[in-house]
């Protein structure tokens, strides 16, 4: 039997304690350290380094979400100064730690479940865990990244591990069920010859015998060696005092961090105000020099997730959403303060705004919103064989069956998703029907039954009979939600449209407009189309499609057709289209460009979007009017949906020489991410609020998505992109796809995996799917990879970019232009 000193010097983790907090873990820490085993405990976690805390956060993803894996290197980094581990957070990963250290002895630390629950509720059952409290605390520790990482871990532990609040009325059965499941897992995964069942009331003897060390002794008053009393620490009062001490220290540091920063900001603000005039001159000079160097104004980018951006976007949304109320309040205040001169101007200003808002709301917005709720006109139904083929293809490309089903049911618990719920979802997804419509015939009922069985096989368990409380997302059947926006917002849209128009003319484009009567049905109106009639403006050969055109003179490069995404028209693409317009071949021939204008997704109130056949016919008319028999199709975001229509078209598909898709939403569209993230996700961060209000809740965009977005028409598979219709014997079509690693709409990690490999996601693959790595051609600062995949598609993955941000940076735009031009070559 070894001594305490021998135990201390023995190397890596030697003792793993499987025991939840409040089972005597603090007493175990003191006992093990008395035996010579430095022990990692929850209090050690609170003082641990930020990298280690981030490791614990990552471990939650690994164990509870199946993302990544545990490594011995990570465990060694955390436990490099310890020989034993007890209490949270390691307790939740005790089986994994025991497997990582196969020579370690394991102690199952027991306590009566009811006594454990009462102790936990007394310690953790306070009611200061509200969302407001958490936000205030996070704001307070804004400058303490380590503490913020700890707060994140504590929140995730509560939400993703425990799954309940200790003060909830129904906490007891959930807690006891968790207790039993935890100990059952530990006993099932750890062999009996490695573990001992133990409670702190048993004292030293069984513990020391299991660990192979002697019972610690001390000398009493008579000089005799007697056993040291087994530690009994961390009673309820001691626990609260220790936690309170840590909290007070964190709060004091947070107050100090804010105090000195605000003091510095105050002093800086004072001096800025004193010297604002010379500073303004300096900044103006710098901006002028930058503009002269790059010949462009700074880009407006998709905002990020910082606190200032969050505050900014929420203020903007508040002002635009409640403009009627704010105008009325402003009018009342100014009227009260009149006849002071400034108040008179305020009365007129706010009065005019209020009248404009009321007229817009009553005569434009409200009738348009009523129109949104009309039933969708679904495309012709698929045959049974077509449905089965589509269903089978979708089933083969679902990476996470449970996550797939839960997100289509708006995050519902799987227990609430029953057979009738899934049946309702399938009726919409594959039959374009509501559950309340006429009954299906016998063959369709049989077909539905087969689909349900396939889904059960995918889940690995049968669906419960009946209907649960879950509600599924049915994009073209559910009611359309919008949010009011000020008429002033549409004034901003008009201004941006004016600037975009002038910029396109400056870059050498000609505008081909719709007939006058078509233009008059768009709100906000476009006065530039009347004021500048004849200036770089011609009539479109397709009545329902306006576009920008740049003549094609190159004999070596193919022309380009560009389809933009949801947003404020072509404004976000001005730098990209400008650079394309300045590109020529080696003989000086210019590349022709047609940039289609898609007004229903451009933050305007318009007529119904075109159907798929009508859109194809209109595009073909435009191509034939300019004599284009072959072109490169470039699309962004929603433009990839229209790309699907053109690629499948017998008229236009064979003319598409190459494809460049940026942030495509049509690939793996059967997965719920695009529909959920765009139309149902509750916004939390600044960029999510921006997407929600300015895109998802825009009346025109919501109408397009809610009544004219038919997923089975819009989804595209990678083999369809590379193969030309009716082109047997010809080379496959070249395809490049650009993805952003931080895309807030598309799960690009799954899409990238799908594109990289040959075949479907469920098929086993050999190798990493990269045929040719071309990353060396990229600027190193882009944090991007570029390669030719096994599916024959060139993939560019920008790890740090969000949706659409590729059009914001100078280097990113240059890279995209280079990719497009390489696809224009013969």
pLDDT digits (tens, 9 = 90+) for 503-512: 998 999 999 9
Kindly report the number of other CB atoms within 10 A of residue 290's CB atom: 12
Under a CB-based contact definition with an 8 Å cutoff, are residues 757 and 763 in contact? yes
Query: Does residue 693 surpass a pLDDT of 50?
Result: yes
CA–CA separation, 282 and 546 (whole Å): 43
Per-residue pLDDT band at 482 (split at 50, 70, 90): very high
The structure tokens 């396109």 sit at: 504
Termini Cα distance of the chain: 80
Q: Which residues of 406-435 are buried (b: 16+ CB within 10 A; e: fewer)?
A: bbbbeebebeebbbbbbbbbbbbbbbbbeb
Q: What CA–CA distance (Å, rounded) separates 704 from 160?
A: 36
Overall average pLDDT of the 19-40 stretch: 91
Give the model's pLDDT for residue 520: 84
pLDDT for position 378: 92
Report residue 278's pLDDT band, with 50, 70 and 90 as the boundaries: low
Q: Per this entry, what is the length of the chain?
A: 826
Task: Report the C-alpha dihedral over residues 716, 388, 415, 468, rounded to 10 degrees.
Answer: 100
The model's confidence at residue 558, banded by pLDDT at 50, 70 and 90, is: very high
Beta strands in 558-627, from DSSP E residues, in sequence order? 560-563, 593-597
In this prediction, residue 518 has a pLDDT band, given cuts at 50, 70 and 90, of confident
| DSSP sequence for 66-82 | --S---HHHHHHHSTT-
If we measure between CA atoms, which residue out of 815, 759, 808 comes closest to residue 784? Answer: 815
* Helix (H), strand (E) at residue 548: strand 546-550
**4-251 and 494-603+610-824 have identical folds:** yes
Domain layout of the chain by residue ranges: 4-251, 253-257+265-294, 305-372, 384-459, 494-603+610-824
- Cα separation, 738 vs 790, whole angstroms: 16
Measured distance CA(593)–CA(562) in Å, rounded = 7
Check residue 282 and give its pLDDT: 47
Expressed in percent and rounded to 5, the helix, strand and coil fractions of the chain are 55, 10, 35
pLDDT-wise least confident of 473-487, 557-571, 713-727: 713-727
**Average pLDDT over every residue of 80-94:** 92
Q: What is the mean pLDDT of residues 397-424?
A: 94
Contacts of 376 (CB under 8 A, 6+ apart): 476, 477, 706, 707, 708, 710
**Contacts (Cβ under 8 Å, ≥6 apart) of 496:** 568, 569, 571
Three-state DSSP string of 423-465:
HHHHHHHHHCCCCCCCCCCHHHHHHHHHHHHHHHHHHCCCCCC
Higher-confidence residue of 223 and 605: namely 605
Using CA of residue 151, residue 153, residue 154, residue 158, what is the dihedral sign? positive
pTM, entire model: 0.64
Beta bridge partners of 561: 594, 633
User: Closest Cα to residue 158, out of 191, 194, 133, 192?
Assistant: 133
Question: What band does 190 get if pLDDT is binned at 50, 70 and 90?
Answer: very high
The answer to whether the peptide bond before residue 627 is cis (omega within 30 degrees of 0) is: no
> How much is the average pLDDT of 292-302?
37
* Res. 285 pLDDT band, cuts 50 70 90: very low
* SS3 state at 766: coil
- Over range 152-163, report the average pLDDT: 86
At residue 151, does pLDDT exceed 50? yes
Per-position DSSP letters for 219-284, written without gaps between them: E-TTS-EEEPPPP----HHHHHHHHHHHHHHHHHHHHHHHHHHHHHHHHHHHHHHHTHHHHHHHHH
What is the predicted pLDDT for the residue at 533? Answer: 52
For 579, other C-beta atoms within 10 Å of its C-beta total 19
CATH T-level topology, domain 4-251: Rossmann fold (3.40.50)
Question: In angstroms, rounded to a whole number, what is the distance separating the alpha carbons of residues 626 and 593?
Answer: 11
With cut-offs at 50, 70 and 90, classify the pLDDT of residue 305.
Answer: confident
- Residue 27 contacts residue 234 (beta carbons within 8 Å): yes
Q: What pLDDT sits at residue 442?
A: 78
Exposure letters 553-578 (e unless 16+ CB within 10 A, then b): ebeebbbbbbbbbbbbbbbbbbbbbb
User: At residue 653, does pLDDT exceed 60?
Assistant: yes
Residue at token pair 């400058």: 143
Sign of CA dihedral 262, 268, 272, 274: positive
Contact of 591 with 557, CB cutoff 8 Å: yes
Residue 277: pLDDT band (50, 70, 90) is low
User: In the predicted model, is pLDDT for residue 263 greater than 90?
Assistant: no
Determine the pLDDT at residue 47. Answer: 83
Residue 759 backbone phi and psi in degrees, to 5: 85, -165
Provide the pLDDT confidence category of residue 257 given band limits of 50, 70 and 90: confident
Place of tokens 């027991």: 110
Among 138-152, 644-658, 802-816, which stretch is predicted with the lowest mean pLDDT? Answer: 138-152
Residue spans of alpha helices (H) in 85-202: 94-100, 113-124, 131-140, 145-156, 171-189
Q: What is the average per-residue pLDDT within 12-19?
A: 93
Residue pair 666/716 in contact (Cβ under 8 Å)? The answer is yes
What ranges make up the beta strands (E) of 580-655?
Answer: 593-597, 631-636
User: What is the spatial distance between Cα 423 and Cα 536, in angstroms, rounded to a whole number?
Assistant: 55
Please tell me the distance from the alpha carbon of residue 410 to that of residue 679, in angstroms, as a whole number.
11
* Structure confidence at residue 286 as a pLDDT band (50, 70, 90): very low
Could you tell me the fold of the domain covering 494-603+610-824? Rossmann fold (3.40.50)
Of residues 535 and 622, more confidence is placed in: 622
296 band by pLDDT with thresholds 50, 70 and 90: very low
How many Cα neighbours within 13 Å face the side chain of 301?
14
Does residue 133 or residue 287 have the better pLDDT? 133
Average pLDDT in the chain: 86
Percent of all residues in the chain with a pLDDT value above 90, rounded to a whole number: 58
Tens of pLDDT, residues 422-467: 999 999 999 998 876 555 677 888 999 999 999 999 999 999 999 9
Tell me the pLDDT band of 586, cut-offs 50, 70 and 90.
confident
pLDDT of 124 reads: 77
pLDDT surpassing 50 at residue 173: yes
| Distances, alpha carbon 788 to alpha carbons 515, 522, 724, in Å | 44, 43, 19
Give the model's pLDDT for residue 50.
84
Question: Cβ(96)–Cβ(70) under 8 Å?
Answer: yes
- Residue 806 burial class via C-beta count within 10 angstroms: exposed 0-12, middle 13-18, buried 19 and up: buried
Closest to 778 in 3D by CA, of 795, 792, 790: 795
Give per-residue pLDDT as tens, 757-779. Answer: 888 988 866 666 788 788 777 77
Q: How much is the pLDDT for 292?
A: 38
d(CA 84, CA 212) in angstroms, rounded, equals 14
Question: CA 641, CA 365: separation in Å to the nearest integer?
Answer: 27
Pick the more confident residue, 363 or 586.
363
Q: In the chain, count H helices and then E strands.
A: 34, 18
CB atoms within 10 A of CB 120: 19
């Amino acid at each position: 039997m070894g001594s305490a000193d021998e135990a201390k010097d023995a190397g890596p983790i030697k003792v793993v304690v499987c025991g939840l907090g409040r089972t005597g873990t603090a007493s175990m820490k003191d006992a093990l350290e008395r035996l010579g085993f430095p022990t990692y405990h929850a209090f050690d976690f609170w003082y641990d380094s930020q990298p280690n805390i981030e490791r614990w956060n990552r471990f939650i993803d690994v164990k509870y979400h199946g993302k990544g894996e545990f490594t011995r290197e990570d465990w060694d980094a955390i436990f490099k100064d310890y020989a034993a581990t007890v209490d949270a957070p390691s307790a939740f990963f005790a089986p994994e730690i025991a497997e990582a250290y196969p020579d370690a002895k394991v102690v199952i630390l027991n306590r009566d479940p009811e006594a454990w629950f009462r102790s936990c509720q007394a310690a953790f059952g306070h009611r200061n865990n509200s969302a407001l409290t958490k936000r205030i605390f996070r704001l307070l520790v804004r400058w303490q990244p380590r503490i913020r990482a700890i707060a994140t871990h504590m929140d995730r532990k509560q939400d993703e591990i425990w799954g309940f609040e200790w003060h909830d009325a129904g906490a007891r059965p959930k807690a006891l069920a968790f207790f039993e499941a935890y100990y059952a897992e530990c006993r099932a995964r750890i062999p009996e010859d490695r573990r001992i069942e133990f409670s702190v009331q048993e004292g030293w003897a069984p513990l020391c015998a299991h660990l192979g060390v002697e019972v610690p002794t001390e000398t009493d008053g008579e000089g005799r060696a007697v056993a040291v009393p087994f530690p009994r620490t961390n009673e309820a009062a001691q626990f609260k005092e220790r936690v309170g001490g840590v909290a007070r220290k964190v709060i004091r540091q947070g107050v100090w961090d804010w105090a000195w920063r605000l003091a510095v900001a105050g002093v800086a603000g004072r001096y800025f105000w004193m010297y604002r005039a010379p500073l303004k001159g300096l900044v103006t000079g710098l901006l002028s020099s930058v503009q002269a160097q790059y010949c462009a104004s700074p880009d407006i980018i998709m905002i990020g997730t910082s606190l200032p951006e969050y505050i900014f976007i929420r203020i903007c949304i508040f002002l635009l959403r409640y403009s009627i109320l704010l105008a009325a309040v402003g009018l009342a205040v100014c009227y009260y303060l009149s006849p002071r001169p400034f108040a008179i101007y305020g009365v007129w200003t706010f009065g005019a705004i209020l009248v404009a808002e009321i007229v817009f709301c009553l005569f434009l917005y409200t009738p348009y919103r009523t129109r949104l709720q009309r039933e969708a006109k679904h495309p012709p139904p698929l045959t049974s064989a077509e449905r089965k083929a589509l269903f089978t293809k979708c089933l083969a490309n679902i990476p996470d069956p449970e996550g797939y089903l839960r997100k289509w049911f708006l995050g519902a618990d799987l227990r609430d998703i029953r057979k009738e719920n899934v049946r309702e979802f399938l009726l919409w997804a594959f039959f374009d029907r509501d559950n309340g419509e006429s009954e299906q015939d016998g063959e369709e009922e049989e077909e539905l039954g087969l689909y349900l069985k396939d889904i059960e096989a995918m889940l690995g368990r049968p669906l419960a009979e009946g209907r649960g409380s879950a509600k599924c997302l049915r994009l073209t059947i559910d009611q359309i939600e919008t949010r009011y926006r000020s008429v002033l917002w549409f004034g901003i849209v008009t201004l941006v449209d004016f600037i975009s128009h002038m910029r396109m003319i400056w870059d050498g484009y000609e505008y081909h407009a719709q007939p006058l009567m078509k233009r008059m049905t768009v709100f906000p109106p476009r006065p530039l189309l009347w004021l500048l009639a004849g200036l770089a403006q011609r009539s479109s050969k397709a009545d329902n499609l306006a576009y920008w055109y740049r003549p094609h003179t190159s004999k070596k490069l193919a022309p380009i057709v560009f389809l933009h995404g949801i947003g404020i028209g072509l404004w976000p693409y001005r730098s990209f289209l400008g650079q394309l317009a300045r590109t020529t071949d080696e003989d000086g021939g210019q590349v022709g460009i047609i940039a289609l204008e898609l007004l229903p997704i451009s933050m305007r109130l318009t007529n119904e979007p075109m159907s798929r056949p009508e859109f194809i016919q209109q595009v073909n008319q435009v191509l034939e009017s300019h004599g284009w028999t072959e072109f490169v199709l470039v699309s962004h975001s929603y433009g990839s949906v229209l790309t699907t229509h053109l690629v499948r078209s017998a008229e236009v598909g064979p003319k598409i020489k190459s494809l460049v898709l940026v942030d495509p939403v049509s690939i793996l569209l059967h997965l719920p991410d695009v529909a959920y993230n765009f139309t149902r996700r509750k916004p939390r961060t600044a960029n999510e609020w921006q997407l929600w209000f300015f895109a998802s809740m825009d009346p025109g965009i919501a109408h397009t998505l809610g009544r004219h977005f038919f997923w089975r028409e819009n989804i595209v598979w990678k083999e369809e992109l590379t193969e030309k219709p009716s082109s047997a014997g010809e080379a496959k079509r070249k395809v490049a796809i650009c993805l952003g690693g931080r895309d807030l709409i598309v799960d690009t990690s799954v899409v990238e995996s799908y594109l990289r490999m040959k075949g479907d996601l469920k098929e086993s693959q050999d190798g990493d799917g990269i045929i040719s790595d071309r990353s060396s051609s990229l600027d190193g600062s882009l944090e991007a990879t570029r390669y030719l995949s096994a599916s024959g598609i060139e993939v560019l993955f920008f790890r740090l970019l969000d949706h659409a941000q590729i059009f914001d940076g100078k280097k990113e735009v240059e890279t995209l232009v280079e990719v497009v031009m390489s696809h224009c070559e013969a």
